[in-house]
Amino acid sequence: MLESLSNSLQKALGKLRSKGKLSEDDVAQAMREVRLALLAADVNVKVVKDFVDKVRVRAVGQEVQRSLTPGQQVVKVVYEELTELMGGQQARVRMAAVPPTVIMLVGLQGAGKTTAAAKLALSFRSHEHRPLLVAADVYRPAAIDQLQVLGRQIDVPVFTLGTTVDAVQIVESARQEAIRQGTDVMIVDTAGRLHVDTELMDELARIQQAVPADEILLVVDAMTGQDAVNVAEAFHKKLSLTGVVLTKLDGDARGGAALTVRAATGCPIKYVGLGEKIEPLEVFHPDRLASRILGMGDVLSLIERAQQTLDLEKAQVMEGRLRKAEFSLDDFREQLLQVRKLGPLDQIIKMLPGMNKLKGLDNLQMDDSKLQRIDAIISSMTRQERGDPGLMNASRRRRVALGSGVTVRDVNQVLNQFEQARQMMKQFSGAGKRMGKRAALQSLKSIPGFPNPEELMASKENSLLSTSGDAGLPRHHHKKKRH
Amino acid sequence: MGIFDKFKRGLEKSRNAVFGKLSGLFQDRKLDDSVFAEMEEILIAADVGVDTALWLVERVRQAARREKLTDTARLSILLQAAMEEALSGVDSQMRMSASGPTLYLFVGVNGVGKTTTIGKLARRYQQQGTQVILAAADTFRAAATEQLVIWGERAGCTVVRQGPGADPAAVVYDAIVAAKSRLADVILCDTAGRLHNKANLMAELAKIQKVVARELPGAPHEVLLVLDGTTGQNALNQTQAFQEVVSVSGIVVTKLDGTAKGGVILPIVREYGIPVKWVGLGEGIEDLEPFDSAAFSAAVCQP
Ligand SMILES: Nc1nc2c(ncn2[C@@H]2O[C@H](COP(=O)(O)OP(=O)(O)OP(=O)(O)O)[C@@H](O)[C@H]2O)c(=O)[nH]1
Ligand SMILES: [Mg+2]
C-alpha cells in the first residue's frame, strides 16, 4: 500500500533542523519527499518537476515563522503554491449573449460524462434555467437510454435522434429544437473517445464548427494516472477547452490528475462530481484538493490554527515543569485555555475530515461549558492545592465543590482528568521542544469529551464532501423565454 | 497475425507515447547514473509507481554490473527480464468448473469497462462453441441492463435480467437456475460499478458472492477485477479493497489502445500476486486478448 503522503512529508520535514532561515539543503531534502508524494498522487512527472523547482526557489531563504518548524514551513509553502496553481479564475459558466448557451462535455470512455451532464442540467434547473440534454453518443450501446432515464429522473427533456444519425447533425437539430422550445441551456453529452482516435476527435471538431459551444468541458476521472497530460493536451489542442470537470472524487483517489490537467491546459477546474446520485455538481475548492493531493485533509488548517494560537513558549515552560514533575493544576488549566483559544469546539471539529456531516455537534457545545466548569473548579482551589493536588482530601474536595457550585463528583472528575493529562504529557514529553503536529493533536485530545483526532483523520469519510449547494452558476441570467 | 503481434499493435500507442522514450534511452549511450535516472522517470510516467520503478531500475543496475556493461546496448533486454520477473507467476488460464456451469463474476469501479469486457468474452466463448449466459446484475445504473442486452445480441447469447432496482443477487440466482436448466457452460455476471471505499456497496458484492457459492458449489470460478488502464496509483487501492471483500482471482486491464501504459499492472502483480488474465485493446467485440507477460514486456521494451 502506498504510504500516506502526509506521513512521508511529516517524516521528511521533521528532519529539518535549520534555524532562522530555510537553507538550500533543508529544502532540497524536503523537496525529494514532496516529489515522491506528488508522484504517488498521480501528478504527472513533468508537472511535478516544474512544480518542485518553483517551490524550491520560493522556499529557500524564507524566514521560518516563530510558530512553525522549518518542516511545517515548507509544507505551508507547498500547500499554498498548490492551491494557487489550481485556483485563480472563477468557476463561472460562460453564458451566451443570445441563448441557447451551448455546453459540450468531452472526454475519455468511462470518465463520467453522462452522469456529469445530468448533474449539470440539474444545477441549471435549480437556478431557474431551462436546460435541454442532448444525446450525441451514438456509439456506446444504450448510452442514449442512460441519458433518457436520467433526464426523466430529474425532469429535464432529452433530445435524441437515435444512433443512426451523425452526431454533428444531432447537435445541429438539437439547437433548432432548443430555440423552438425556448430552452436557454443546451448540454451536449458526447461519446467517450480516445484522444488518439483521429476520426472521433475530428467529429468533435466538426460539432464545434457547426454549433460553436460556449463552454467545452473536459470530464476527467479523478483516478486518472500519468496519461492525463496526453489526454488533456490532445483535447485542448483540438477543441480549445474552457474548463474541466473532475469526477469520482467521492472515491479515495488523491486526484493529482487535476493538477496535471490544470498545468497542461491552463483551464480552470469548474466542477467536481462526488457520487452516482444525480445531485447538482459541486463547485471546485482548490485548497481542499491541495490538501487532498498532499494527503492531509483539512487537518492541515487545523494544525495551522493550533500553531498560530498555541503559545510555544508557554508549552515549553510547561514541558520543562513536567520533566521536573512540577506539572500542576495551574498548568493543566493553562493548557486547556490554550486549546480553547483555537475557537469554539464545534468549529474546530468541522475542520476535521469527515466530521462536517456528523450529527450531535450540540454535545460539543456542552463540552465547551464543561471547560468553563473546570476553570471554575480549579479557581476555587488554593494556590497550594493547585500546586500539589495530592493535598485534595475529602473535605477539601467538598469545599471546592461548594465554592464552584458543582458536585464532589465533578471535582473528582477534574482531578482524574488532570492525572490522565499528566500521564499523557509525560509520554509525549520526549517528542520535541516545539509544539509540533503531535503535541497540537495531543492537546486536542486532552480536552474532556473531545474525539480522538487521529481516529478522525483515519476516518474513511472524505473531506471534500462539503454541503455547499451553489454550483457556481449565474443566477437568473436569462430568464425563461416562454410564457 | 500471432498474439504477440496483435498485442504489440494494440500497445503501439503506448509504446510511442512513453515507453517509446525507452528506445531513445537504449540507443548507444554510455552507461552512467543519468541513464538509470531517466529510466526511472520513464517508468514512473508509465504509471509503474515509484516503488516498482525503483525496484526495476535496481534489478537492471545489478544485472548491468554483473555483466560489466559500459554502454546501453543490452539495457532493453535487461529491463525486459526485470519486468518479466515482476510479472512472473502470471497465469492467464481461466478456471473452469469440473461439472455443471462455470461462473465468472466481474467487479470494478465505475466506467472501467466491465460490461464491454463481458460482451467481448461472451463472443469469444460462443465462437469456441461454449454456451454462455449473461447475468445483468447491474440493476443500479441507468440503462445498464439495456447495454448488456445489446452485447448479448452481438455475441449471440441469452441475457438474464430483472427490472431496474432489483436485487442483484436475485438476478444472479436466476441466471444460475437458467444455466442449469439449459445446460449452459459459462455464466458471466455483470455488476454495477462501485467505488471501493463505499462499504455498503462492497457488502452487496460480498452478498452476491455468497449466493453464488451457495447455489453453485465451487463458484465463482473466477472473480475478475476490471481495471481501467488509464488509472494511476489508485488502481492499487482498488485491488486491495476488492481483494478484501471478494477475493479477486484475476485482473482485466482495459483501454490499452490509448496512450495509457497500463504500467500499474507491474506493481499490482508484484505486490498482490494476482494474475492479469485479459487486456482490452479497443471498443470492438474482438478487442480482447489474453494477457501474456512475456509479450507485454517485450512489446514494451523492444524497439
Ligand atoms: N478504447 C477502449 N474503450 C473501452 C475499452 N473497454 C471499454 N471501453 C469503453 O469504456 C466505456 C465504459 O465501458 P463499460 O463497459 O460501460 O464500463 P462498465 O465498467 O461496465 O461501466 P459501469 O457499469 O457504468 O460501471 C465505454 O464507452 C466502452 O466502450 C477498451 O479496451 N478500449
Ligand atoms: Mg457496466
Domain boundaries, given as residue ranges, for chain A: 5-86, 101-286, 299-458
On the question of pLDDT at A296 being above 60, the answer is yes
A299-458 — its CATH code? 1.10.260.30
Minimum mean pLDDT range among A153-167, A265-279, A289-303, B205-219 = A289-303
Cβ-contact A372, A344 below 8 angstroms: no
Q: How far apart are CA B80 and CA B83, in angstroms?
A: 5
On the question of pLDDT at A92 being above 70, the answer is yes
Per-residue pLDDT, A404: 86
Q: Is the CB of A458 under 6 A from ligand 1?
A: no
Average pLDDT of the residues in A361-386: 72
Best B148, B234, B256, B268 residue to mutate vs chain A (most A CBs within 10 Å):
B234
Query: Is A299-458 in the same CATH topology as A101-286?
Result: no
Q: How far apart are CA B270 and CA B87, in angstroms?
A: 6
Q: Rounded to the nearest 10 degrees, how much is the dihedral formed by the CA atoms of B219, B166, A119, B200? A: -50
Average pLDDT of the residues in A314-318: 64
Per-residue pLDDT, A476: 47
- DSSP track, A12-69: HHHT----SB--HHHHHHHHHHHHHHHHHTT--HHHHHHHHHHHHHHHTTPBPPTTS-
Per-residue pLDDT, A465: 29
**What strand order describes the sheet that includes A158-159?**
A158-159, A131-136, A185-190, A101-106, A215-221, A243-247, A269-272, A282-283
Sequence-distant (≥ 6) Cβ neighbours of residue B283 within 8 angstroms: A109, A139, A140, B116
Minimum mean pLDDT range among A280-289, A362-371, B271-280 = A362-371
Of all protein residues, the one whose alpha carbon is nearest to atom 21 of ligand 1 is B111
pLDDT-derived band at B145, boundaries 50, 70, 90: very high
pLDDT-derived band at B51, boundaries 50, 70, 90: very high
State which ligand 1 atom lies nearest to the alpha carbon of B118.
15
Sequence-distant (≥ 6) Cβ neighbours of residue B155 within 8 angstroms: B119, B122, B123, B126, B132, B134, B285
Average pLDDT of the residues in B43-48: 92
Share of chain B above pLDDT 70, in %: 91
On the question of pLDDT at B106 being above 70, the answer is yes
pLDDT 10s digits, B161-214: 999 999 999 999 999 999 999 999 999 999 999 999 888 899 999 999 999 999
pLDDT-derived band at A429, boundaries 50, 70, 90: very low
Residues in chain A: 483
Per-residue pLDDT, A483: 42
Query: Quick one: A101-286 is in which CATH superfamily?
Result: P-loop containing nucleotide triphosphate hydrolases (3.40.50.300)
Which residue blocks in A380-452 are alpha helix, DSSP H? 383-387, 394-404, 408-428, 437-445
Q: Specify the higher pLDDT residue, B14 or B121.
A: B121
CATH of A5-86, one of 1.20.1300.10, 3.30.70.660, 1.20.120.140, 1.10.3470.10: 1.20.120.140
Cα-to-centroid distance, A140 and ligand 2 (Å) = 11
Q: Are strands B132-137 and B186-191 parallel, antiparallel or unpaired?
A: parallel
Residues 53-92 of B with CB under 8 A from A: none
On the question of pLDDT at A170 being above 80, the answer is yes
Question: Cβ separation of A227 and B259 shorter than 8 Å?
Answer: yes
Task: Tell me the CA distances in angstroms from A266 to A40, A132, A220, A260, A350, one per residue in order.
Answer: 22, 29, 15, 10, 32
* Interface check A252 vs B, CB under 8 A: yes
Average pLDDT of the residues in A242-265: 93
Task: Tell me the CA distances in angstroms from A468 to A124, A285, A348, one per residue in order.
Answer: 15, 11, 18
Q: Are strands B276-280 and B288-290 parallel, antiparallel or unpaired?
A: antiparallel
Residues 224-283 of B with CB under 8 A from A: 228, 230-237, 240, 255, 257-261, 263-264, 283
C-alpha cell at B70: 559500459
On the question of pLDDT at B236 being above 60, the answer is yes
Which is nearest to B207 in space by CA: B191, B222, B228?
A: B191
Per-residue pLDDT, B114: 98
Q: Write down the mean pLDDT value for chain A.
A: 78
On the question of pLDDT at A64 being above 80, the answer is no
Residue A469 backbone class (left: φ over 0; alpha: ψ -120 to 50; beta: rest): alpha
Q: Are strands A243-247 and A269-272 parallel, antiparallel or unpaired?
A: parallel
pLDDT 10s digits, A396-408: 999 999 888 888 9
Cβ-contact B160, B221 below 8 angstroms: no
Q: How far apart are CA A77 and CA A65, in angstroms?
A: 12
pLDDT-derived band at A74, boundaries 50, 70, 90: confident
